[in-house]
A and B are shown apart, each in its own frame.
Chain A
Amino acid sequence: MNDQIKGSDLKHTPHLPHDEGGPVFNAPWEAKAFAITVDLHKRGVFDWSEWCDTLADEIRSAQAAGDPDLGDTYYAHWLNALETLITAKKVSTAESLLAAKDDWRAADEHRGFGEAPVFVKGAAQPGA
């Protein structure tokens, strides 16, 4: 394949991150966050320009807060923007997302060795 950056030249450039033409996602969650966004858009939950505006805002405020924004935090911004847009569109609420996250954490803590976590809605609620 001819798809390689001239890596030796780039190594001298501390502020210009680059790849080797390899996978564009660093972790499975990044791919999933990306795919959820694309699917929501396809189903008409938001326009792509709304998405771009939300993501650009997110990146701008991260930069303002001191993120050097070297591309490695890109999908963290993406995830923040996705949560923001979903709650702004009243598709879900911050509370519901947080509750589901707590349920997933509970599932994760209770899984057996080598087993996948089993999601139980409301598992993290008091008295459940």
Chain B
Amino acid sequence: MPHDHPHAHNKPLSDVELRVKALESVLSDKGLIDPEAIDLIVETYETKIGPRNGARVVAKAWCDPAYKDRLLTDATAAISELGFSGVQGEDMVVVENTETVHNIVVCTLCSCYPWPTLGLPPVWYRAAPYRAKVVKDPRGVLEEFGVTLPEDTEIRVWDSNAELRYLVLPKRPAGTDGLTEEQLSELVTRDAMIGTDVLAAR
């Protein structure tokens, strides 16, 4: 874990650290950023927003058919019903996994990602091998994540962009009939909502 507390020896700041500090000084001098707002954003993304927001959306859709309809029709509105909305004002689209269709999400250009529901993207999502390979060989990528789908399952790959972000609505795992919405949300993994995981039966 990186840590901030001072040591008896000084480690010189790295080039990138100096550049970020320079940006911070220049931009706050001009009143274009507020250092307190910066700290708040860091804290929010590091600790508060994570895949749990998305998991709550998924669990609610599993339990409430009317909500699921709204989610699949107008995901941006349905997700903001739960208090989650995009910092960039982008639109959300939710794609549903079924017996015959599996969805998987990528951003081939950079790493557009639904931050308000999933937090920040994992390293592999940002990496070129995933971005390039998932389009050409989604089944191979799924195998690498330990997921094997039936031969006849159709795999749909969704390419995110600056205006549109996708979230996968995974299939509700078998054997979860008696669980509450909250318990269900605990079962939903981040990767299942990107489409690189399927939720195992309980």
Contact = CB atoms under 8 A, between A and B. Distances in A.
B195 interface: no
A32 B26 contact: no
A18 B122 contact: yes
Interface residues of B, number: 69
Interface string A40-51: 111101001101
A97 interface: yes
A97 B124 contact: no
Interface in A19-71: 19, 21, 23-29, 31-36, 38-43, 45, 48-49, 51-53, 55-56, 59, 63, 68-71
A80 to B, nearest CB: 9
Given A23-B46, A36-B23, A74 B126 contact: yes
24 contacts: A2-B187, A3-B190, A9-B144, A15-B129, A16-B127, A19-B124, A24-B121, A35-B41, A36-B23, A36-B38, A38-B87, A39-B38, A43-B32, A48-B88, A51-B162, A52-B161, A69-B128, A70-B123, A71-B126, A92-B26, A100-B22, A100-B23, A114-B6, A114-B10
Interface of A: 1-6, 9-10, 12-13, 15-19, 21, 23-29, 31-36, 38-43, 45, 48-49, 51-53, 55-56, 59, 63, 68-72, 74-76, 79, 82-83, 86, 91-92, 96-98, 100-101, 103-105, 108-109, 111, 113-117, 119, 121
